[in-house]
Amino acid sequence: MEPIDFVRQQPPFDRLTEAELEQVAASLKPARFSRNHQILVRGGAPSRFLYLIREGEVRLEHEGQAVQLLEEGDLFGYASLLSGNSPAFDVIAEEETLTYQIPGEAFRPLLDHPALAEFFLKGLSQRLQRTAHRETSPLAGNMMTPAETLLARAPVFISPDASVAEAAQRMREARISSMLVAGQPPGILTDRDLRSRVLAEGLGPETPTRQVMSQPLKTLPAETPVYAALLFMLQENIHHLPLTRQNQIVGVITDTDLLRHQLKNPVYLLKQVDQLAHLDSLAQYDREIAGMVETLFRGGLDVAQIGRMVASVNDALIRQLLKLAEAELGPPPTPYAWIVFGSEGRQEQTLLTDQDNALIYGEDSPAAQLYFEQLAERVVTGLQQAGFPPCPGNYMATQWRRPLEQWLRLFKTWVYTPEPQALLEAAIFFDFRQVHGSLSLEPLEEILGAAGKHGLFLAHLARAALEFQPPLGFFQRIKTEQEGVDLKKGGIAPIVGLARLYALEVGSLARSTLARLEAAGQAGTLSQAGAELLAEAFRFTLYLRLRTQLRAYQAGHTPTNRVKLEQLSALERRHLKEAFLAIREAQELTASHFQTRRLG
């Protein structure tokens, strides 16, 4: 293979035009180094070349300690070349090595190319963000377009003194499903309001609109992206969304508009869930979720945003299952709360995984114990029929249902007198999120909010956060098994644990990993740059996992958390190793900060 043909295949040079590659070829110089030859000297003269490894390996050393091994396709020397400073590491040939050198005077003009400038001048967090950016499929719809592009007409208003009969007539004439009601603040009257608040209540056609309208309006700016409008409607459980510009309503979008924008979107599934009357209807739920996730993914939506969408639909399913169970069992004897935790609690689940849920109820009594045992059994069974496998560790409401007082004792024990193994198993409970029920969980929130004041708890939680390690071996090579690299254990879980730890340290009650990292960065327990880097590493590993899982699903295989390195591009492999290195560095700083080694 000619040298330029090899260069053409390596990122970021694979983004150059043929004319630009010819310029590189004119300056390219092969350089061969024998084993143990010192190519660059830490603290010595600045590098005069950008080096691209063609064959062999070089190691980076710091004060005599090997810190990383670079292999075929890797680059070095550019940081010193661009800054004019001494190399930060000794660079030594691990074995006989062939490199291609690009002199500084030929390399610097290449930085006018955006792809090369981004690669060599931007930080890792920015490059990870860029790598996970995808071209969207026109068949999937564009979830990033402004919601106002879905508007079909100008807003239609009616007086609050007008009768509901007049409102219904105008809605029919305009072929719309809602009317805006003039006033300060304005309101809205929908076809659902006419059914549930007028007909169902036996009110007459002369009833004034103001008596049955919804007020105040829930609105969003017209420039809000489609995905954010969709998520807002799901979370607020509304079917009509007025859009505003400069505080003036410019139109109303509906769930039907969103359905037209995309066939398999959360609104489509939410309608099915709302109409669920029997558990037999759940047989296709996991396939519908997978189809929705694929549509959102192809539409260019960020994986973290997809997780929030999926959580909204799953929450609606749980609430519907609980309503069906209550209809069968009768009203609950005491207020209760159904909680989810783990990835569902953090709203980071995409394709369905095993369920993690629990039940908390108010006053304890034999009647309450029997009722909630039956309630939990029905809901957990329903979730299994929907495609949520039972939790291998039995972290489900069939096992974890207790009165609030017992939960308070548990949380106090975990925080005030922590035991390593118990805390390791209990850490996911700190991700809990209430999905349904009227019981206030503020007492549990207060315990978590004050947990950062307990040093021993933080030290044990830090040890639990270090349980999973990036799969880096000798010289920082990615260790892989026959089935591939486990992205969950090696990348996602370590970041989740670190984010949980640092957020609780500052008293943040944020649940999502990204929100926790942001809280830690703002509070200074993590540096702003460190928090941003972990956030982008999290997004990147989530992206790689979901893309691999969707490909497996499409091929009829069972999705897993593993990816084979040969399935990744050269740039993705490089960035995955850099992400793992960033996680390892954060874990080492964590171990030192919380002195986990002193715990014995």
Q: Which CATH number fits domain 267-449: 3.40.50.1970, 2.30.30.170, 3.30.43.10, 3.30.460.10?
A: 3.30.460.10
Q: What is the average pLDDT across 548-553?
A: 91
Is the model's pLDDT at 259 over the cut of 50?
yes
**Which residue in the block uniquely carries the two structure tokens 């290195």?**
581
CA–CA gap between residue 46 and residue 40 (Å, rounded): 8
* Per-residue model confidence as pLDDT tens digits over 157-172: 999 999 999 999 998 8
Length of the chain: 600
DSSP conformation class of 225:
B
Q: Which CATH architecture has domain 455-599?
A: Up-down Bundle (1.20)
562-597 pLDDT, tens per residue? 999 988 887 788 889 889 999 999 999 999 888 766
pLDDT grade for 128, boundaries at 50, 70 and 90 = low
329-351 mean pLDDT: 95
Q: Among 267-281, 421-435, 509-523, which stretch is predicted with the lowest mean pLDDT?
A: 267-281
10 Å CB burial of residue 591 (0-12, 13-18, 19+) is middle
Domain locations along the chain: 3-121, 144-261, 267-449, 455-599
- Tokens in use for 188? 């809205």
Looking at CATH, the fold of the domain delimited by 3-121 is given as Jelly Rolls (2.60.120)
Tokens of 599: 């715990």
Nearest in space to 181 (alpha carbons), one of 200, 204, 207, 155: 155
* Separation CA 488–CA 502 (nearest Å): 20
Task: Give 355-379 pLDDT, tens digit per residue.
Answer: 999 999 999 999 999 999 999 999 9
The two structure tokens encoding residue 192: 């659902």
> Is the per-residue pLDDT at 253 higher than 50?
yes
| The pLDDT of residue 141 is above 60 | no
Is residue 269 predicted with pLDDT exceeding 80? no
Q: Is 143 or 35 the better-scoring residue by pLDDT?
A: 35
Give the integer Cα–Cα distance in Å for 53 and 211. 75
Q: Strands of 222-286 (E only): list them.
A: 240-245, 248-254
Question: pLDDT of 173-230, one tens digit each?
Answer: 888 889 999 988 899 999 888 988 988 888 989 999 999 999 889 999 999 988 788 8
> Is 462:501 a contact under the CB 8 Å cutoff?
yes
Give the pLDDT band (50/70/90) at residue 546.
very high
CB burial string 477-505: b at 16+ within 10 A, e below: ebebeeebbbbbbbbbbbbbbbbbbbbbb
Q: What is the CATH number of domain 144-261?
A: 3.10.580.10
Residue 152 — pLDDT band, cuts 50, 70, 90? confident
Q: Give the span between the Cα atoms of 568 and 572, in whole angstroms.
A: 6
- Give residue 190's pLDDT: 92
In sequence order, the β-bridge partners of residue 360 are 337, 402
Q: How confident is the model at residue 137 (pLDDT cuts 50, 70, 90)?
A: very low
**76: amino acid identity, one letter:** F
Domains 3-121 and 267-449 belong to one CATH topology:
no
Q: What's the average model confidence in pLDDT over 319-348?
A: 95
Closest C-alpha to 466, from 415, 500, 431, 429: 500
Q: Which pLDDT belongs to residue 138? A: 42
pLDDT band at 139 (very low <50, low <70, confident <90, very high): very low
Q: Residue 287: what pLDDT?
A: 85
Asked if 64 and 24 count as a contact pair (C-beta separation under 8 A), the reply is: no
Residue 263 pLDDT > 60: no
Q: How confident is the model at residue 476 (pLDDT cuts 50, 70, 90)?
A: confident
323 Cβ contact list (under 8 Å, min separation 6): none
The pLDDT score that the predictor gives to residue 373 is 97
Please, which pLDDT band fits residue 71 given cuts at 50, 70 and 90? confident
Q: Where are the alpha helices (DSSP H) in 138-201?
A: 164-174, 191-193
pLDDT in tens, 396-439: 999 999 999 999 999 999 999 998 888 888 899 999 999 999 99
Q: Where does 387-492 have alpha helices with state H?
A: 404-416, 420-426, 442-449, 455-465, 487
β-strands 65-70, 58-62 pairing: antiparallel
Which pLDDT value is given to residue 495? 97
Average pLDDT score over residue span 500-512: 95
pLDDT band for position 135 (cuts 50, 70, 90): very low
**Quick one: residue 585, left, alpha or beta (phi over 0 = left, psi -120 to 50 = alpha)?**
alpha
Whether the Cβ atoms of residue 493 and residue 464 lie closer than 8 Å to each other:
no
Asked whether the predicted pLDDT for residue 452 surpasses 80, the reply is yes
Assign 124 a pLDDT band (cuts: 50, 70, 90). low
Q: What angle, 0 to 180 degrees and rounded to 10, lies between the N-to-C axes of helices 303-329 and 528-554?
A: 70
Q: Answer with the residue of higher pLDDT: 354 or 270.
A: 354
- Token pair 């002199």 is found at 103
pLDDT tier at 274, thresholds 50, 70, 90: confident
- pLDDT above 80: residue 127: no
As a whole number of angstroms, the distance between CA 591 and CA 585 comes to 10
The conformation of residue 413, written as its DSSP 8-state character, comes to: H
Cα separation, 252 vs 169, in Å, equals: 19
Residue 90: closest CA among 116, 63, 114: 63
Q: Which amino acid appears at position 559 of this protein? A: P
Does the global pTM surpass 0.85?
Answer: no
Query: Does 275 have pLDDT greater than 90?
Result: no
CA atoms of 63 and 90, how far apart (whole Å): 8
Please check whether residue 303 is in contact with residue 546, taking contact to mean a CB–CB distance below 8 angstroms.
yes
Q: Provide the percentage of residues in the chain whose pLDDT is more than 90.
A: 52
**CB neighbourhood size of 391 (10 A):** 18
* Confidence (pLDDT) at 430: 95
Cα angle 277, 434, 518 (rounded to 5 degrees) comes to: 130
Lowest mean pLDDT among 216-230, 483-497, 505-519: 216-230
CB 444 within 8 A of CB 402: no
